[in-house]
Amino acid sequence: MATGQHVRGDVTAGSTGEHTDWSSALELMQASGATELIRQVRAAEQSDPDGTRWPRNKRSDDATAVFGLLSTS
């Protein structure tokens, strides 16, 4: 999730629902990939262009997401 985008512990909305915390965002990335997370963030931004529902400084910002799993074995 890009800095300033909502999942700062709050909400991002997507076509499959709302992600109310970082755990659900990570679950989405594990299941569907970082591209899907960013797509849902962009959909949330477009659905709230004035930042009324999800206050933010800009309508949109750069987006980068990285997901990895570490194994102890």
| pTM of the model as a whole | 0.67
Q: How far is CA 68 from the centre of its chain?
A: 16
Residue in 52, 61, 47 with CA at minimum distance from that of residue 13: 47
**What is the residue-level pLDDT of the chain in tens, covering all 73 positions?**
444 444 433 444 444 456 668 899 999 999 999 999 999 989 988 999 998 988 888 888 888 998 888 999 8
User: What is the spatial distance between Cα 26 and Cα 1, in angstroms, rounded to a whole number?
Assistant: 10
User: What is the spatial distance between Cα 44 and Cα 39, in angstroms, rounded to a whole number?
Assistant: 9
pLDDT of residue 33: 92
Domain ranges of the chain: 1-73
